[in-house]
Amino acid sequence: MFKSMLRTVTVASILAAGAFAAHAGNPSVGGAPMYDNKNIIENAVNSKDHTTLVAAVKAAGLVETLQGAGPFTVFAPVNSAFDALPAGTVDTLLKPESKDMLTKVLTCHVVSANAMSDAIGKMVMDDGGTHDVKTVGGCVLKAKADGGKITLTDETGGVATVTIADVKQSNGVIHVIDKVLLPKG
């Protein structure tokens, strides 16, 4: 009996250590640990700060894509970024008839690469202070380094700041941002 309990405790400890190791070095986001052995969707659904983004990704039919092999860099706006949009914008975007526009907005937050913040910062420096970032949605974001933080200017002139950088995923990286990036027109 004692050996059985000891074995159970040992196995539980090993499993817990493995879960911790997968999270080690990765920041928590929205009160949830982000595991670098899970994909973007598997981690994002646990962040209480990204419930609007997750709902939008589901409505746009992008879940399967963002669970794919990647690599992807996702600039992930927090709920308050969506709340800052004009009244009714999110509700309108989540309607089935707005799926194309929602997809365009969301894919302007995704780059087909695994771009850690130090690599983005180097590209900014190499390009004289501003680096064009082409997204899978066809948007061109202007990346800059400002006071030790990376900022992204969208095609409408809106500026988002990376508030949590380098959240490693099994299929890329998430950078948490404080504003929704919008395409022109």
CATH number of the domain where residue 109 is located: 2.30.180.10
What is the predicted pLDDT for the residue at 15? 36
Strands 131-134 and 72-77: unpaired
Question: What pLDDT is stored for residue 136 in this prediction?
Answer: 93
Full residue range of the structural domain in which residue 133 is found:
27-177
Q: Is residue 100 part of a domain?
A: yes
Mean pLDDT by 10 residues, the chain (185 residues): 39 36 64 84 87 90 87 94 92 91 93 92 93 95 90 95 92 93 89
- Is 169 among the domain residues? yes
Question: Is 7 a domain residue?
Answer: no
Model pLDDT, residue 63:
87
- Global pTM reads 0.83
Identify the pLDDT of residue 108.
94
**Three-state DSSP state, 143:** strand
- pLDDT value at position 131? 95
61: three-class secondary structure by DSSP: coil
Q: Is residue 182 part of a domain?
A: no
Residue 72 CB contacts under 8 Å (≥ 6 apart), including other chains: 40, 66, 110, 111, 112, 113, 114, 169, 171, 172, 173
Round to whole Å and give the CA distance between 87 and 74: 25
The total number of structural domains in the chain stands at 1
Exposure string over 83-107, b if 16+ CB within 10 A, otherwise e: eebeeebbeebbeeebeeebbbbbb
Beta strands in 37-111 (DSSP E): 72-77, 110-111
Q: What is the largest CA-CA distance in the chain?
A: 69
pLDDT of residue 41: 87
Q: Is residue 59 part of a domain?
A: yes
**pLDDT value at residue 12:** 36
Give me the pLDDT at residue 6, please: 35
Residue 155 falls inside a structural domain: yes
Q: Is residue 106 part of a domain?
A: yes
The answer to whether residue 3 is domain-embedded is no
Give residue for tokens 């082409």: 134
